[in-house]
Every structure is written in C-alpha cells, then in structure tokens.
C-alpha cells in the first residue's frame, strides 16, 4: 500500500493539466527568493512555512513523516502535525551546500520549460524552472569571479510551489540530504540522517 500511495503521488505530480494554470515567472522567483532569504536567516522553519514553500504534503515530506509515524500509508494524519518542518529543517542544516557565505552577487531567472521528445521539443505544462546564481568577485582575476554557485529549482505550476529535484551545480540536492532508495525503489531518508534530524528538531523544540 505504501508503494501504491507513493506511485500515486508521483503520477499526480506529473499529470498534465494543460491550460488550467496562470504561471507567473515573477511569482515563482519571489517564492524562491523568500525561501533563500529564510535559509539565510538561519532560523527554524515551522510546518506552516513548509506548506508555503513546498505545498501541502509533498512527496519527500511524506517519506519523513510516515517514517516517524505522523501519517499512515494512505497519507492520513495519525498524530498532530509537527510544530517544525522536518523537510525544511533538513534543508536548513544542509544549507551550506546551497549558500555562499561571503560577499556575493546573486540573481534569479525563471521560465517555462520544454522537454526533448522523440519528435522534437514540447512544452512542459506542469513544471517551470527557477535558476539562482551567486558569484563572489575577484577583480584581480582575469575572469573577475573567484567563486560561484548555481541552484536550479523545479516549480510545480499546479501547486504553485517549489519542488524537487533541486540541482546544485548540476548535482541533485537529494544526494546531499541523505535520501536513498529502498529495495523497491521507494525513496527514504537514511537512518543516520533521520536520527540526526530528529535530534536537531528535539533541540530547537525545547
């Protein structure tokens, strides 16, 4: 049943609704910018913050909450919703993979995407992508840039929320977060990472 529920979530997230959405690149960038600014504040994310940024009950949030006994295999709550977001706090404690800490220039770009198919390109009506780039400048260098980091975030048009995958300099962020696949190919958070996350939440919840 768990596998079936996850499969349904994946299928629903990729279902094409064609012209039912009014996608705004400005809105998607604003949401991404609010998320990045929240990460830079380095303050705890409430569960309500997670809903704002990633929508109500995203796949990877379900994976964590189900493992911790908050929801059943059908995704129904069996315990009160947590005060803090396990998913967003997992991202926050790994935010050093995303953020440059020193002086930087940062900029965003976003737009709808086209998928490469057998017969050429076709519009991806369910997803758009947001690019976020940070640069540290070194004017003594020929290329003027001493360090840079890029983040690509998928934006779910139906949910009007940020989504996975996120790519950091071309590498999936899920790799840094510690998500793995079980024997059936279903994503789960590794035991060490989950234990660390639970301990982290217990500290900030005091």
Q: Once rounded to an integer, what is the mean pLDDT over residues 126-155?
A: 83
Residue 109 confidence (pLDDT): 95
Instruction: Report how far residue 149's alpha carbon sits from residue 173's, in angstroms, rounded to the nearest whole number.
Output: 13
Q: Is residue 90 part of a domain?
A: yes
Contact 201, 194 (CB under 8 A): no
Residues 6+ apart with CB under 8 A from 43: none
Burial class (CB in 10 A: 0-12, 13-18, 19+), 7: exposed
The average pLDDT across 58-71 equals 94
Number of other residues whose CB lies within 10 A of the CB of residue 11: 9
For residue 146, being part of any structural domain is answered with yes
89 within a domain of the structure (yes/no):
yes
CB 149 within 8 A of CB 176: no
Does the pLDDT at position 5 exceed 60? no
Containing structural domain, residue 83: 2-14+24-204
């Amino acid at each position: 049943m768990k596998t079936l529920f996850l499969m349904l979530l994946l299928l629903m997230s990729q279902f094409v609704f064609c012209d039912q959405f009014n996608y705004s690149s400005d809105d998607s960038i604003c949401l991404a910018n609010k998320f990045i600014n929240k990460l830079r504040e380095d303050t705890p994310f409430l569960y309500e913050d997670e809903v704002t940024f990633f929508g109500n009950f995203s796949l990877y949030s379900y994976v964590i909450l189900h493992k911790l006994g908050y929801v059943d295999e059908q995704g129904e709550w069996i315990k009160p919703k947590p005060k803090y977001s396990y998913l967003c706090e997992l991202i926050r404690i790994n935010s050093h993979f995303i953020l440059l800490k020193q002086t930087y220039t940062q900029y965003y770009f976003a737009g709808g995407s086209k998928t490469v198919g057998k017969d050429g390109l076709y519009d991806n009506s369910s997803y758009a992508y947001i690019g976020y780039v940070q640069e540290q400048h070194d004017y003594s260098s020929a290329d003027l840039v001493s360090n840079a980091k890029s983040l690509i975030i998928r934006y779910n048009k139906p949910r009007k929320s940020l989504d996975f995958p996120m790519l950091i300099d071309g590498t999936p962020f899920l790799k840094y977060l510690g998500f793995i696949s079980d024997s059936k190919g279903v994503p789960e958070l590794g035991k060490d990472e989950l234990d660390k996350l639970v301990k982290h939440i217990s500290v900030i919840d005091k």
